[in-house]
Amino acid sequence: MINYFNPNNTLKIINKIQKFVFALFIIVLLLGLVEALVLSPEDYKQSDSVRIMYVHVPSAWISLGIFTTISLLSFGIFIFKNKNFSIITKSLAPSGFTFCIIALVTGSFWGKPTWGTWWAWDARITSMLLLSIFYLLFILSWKIYENENKAVKISSVIAIIGLINIPIIKFSVEWWNTLHQPASVKLLEETTIHNSMLLPLAIMTAAFALFSLLIFLMKYNTELLKIKNKGLNRL
């Protein structure tokens, strides 16, 4: 049933797949680094600085995807009263926040040679900064409130409100004049980035996704152990 599961069984499954995910992450990461740093070409305008893209863009994608997942699960918390949803969102947040910060930092390093400045109050940069604040508030809500039910409610409200920011980040380059160029990788239209750059970008995105999954599994495992130590066999 959706509202009940056995933490002991879940712990066994997590322990089995963690090592596999870690090994796969290392393989994909090494392959991605070779493609990004050795095999992919320089950009004719940005030279080698374009290689920052292979960290910056996947980090941004992953942070957006994780926060969207957290927000949707937060709706589920209120609708289904499912405690497992809150454990999942709590376990997802650290990796999402980390990738959001990586996206901001690498964007700053990329912006200096490209735009001539470390920081600009560009619409996309500002909305990404706002996303990091939502992440931080979400994480802090679990630290501040000792009452678990209150922490669940406050964190879920923060995530739901923060969901409004996701389409702003996505469409900011179309709604306002920004330093960022329009998306080069598109799902419904022809991708404008060359395959020699698209391949390492895709591989690095897969590597970062695997890393975020690994961090999630470790955090989720920790949360389930806390439940087990309380003597609870079901949620």
Cα 168 from Cα 170, distance rounded (Å) = 5
Rounded Cα distance between 136 and 157, Å, is 14
R_g (Cα) of the chain, nearest Å: 19
Q: What is the pLDDT of residue 2?
A: 45
pTM: 0.89
Mind listing the pLDDT tens digit of every residue in the chain (235 residues)?
A: 344 456 677 788 888 899 999 999 999 999 999 999 998 888 777 777 889 999 999 999 999 999 999 999 999 999 998 889 999 999 999 999 999 999 999 999 988 887 888 888 888 999 999 999 999 999 999 999 989 999 999 999 999 999 999 999 988 887 877 777 767 776 656 777 888 889 999 999 999 999 999 999 999 999 988 887 876 555 5
Question: How big is the CA angle at 205 (ends 155 and 122), to the nearest 5 degrees?
Answer: 65
- What are 1-4's contacts with CB under 8 Å, separation 24+? 2/80, 2/82, 3/80, 3/81, 3/82, 3/83, 3/84, 3/235, 4/234, 4/235
Sequence spans of domains, the chain: 8-40+47-229
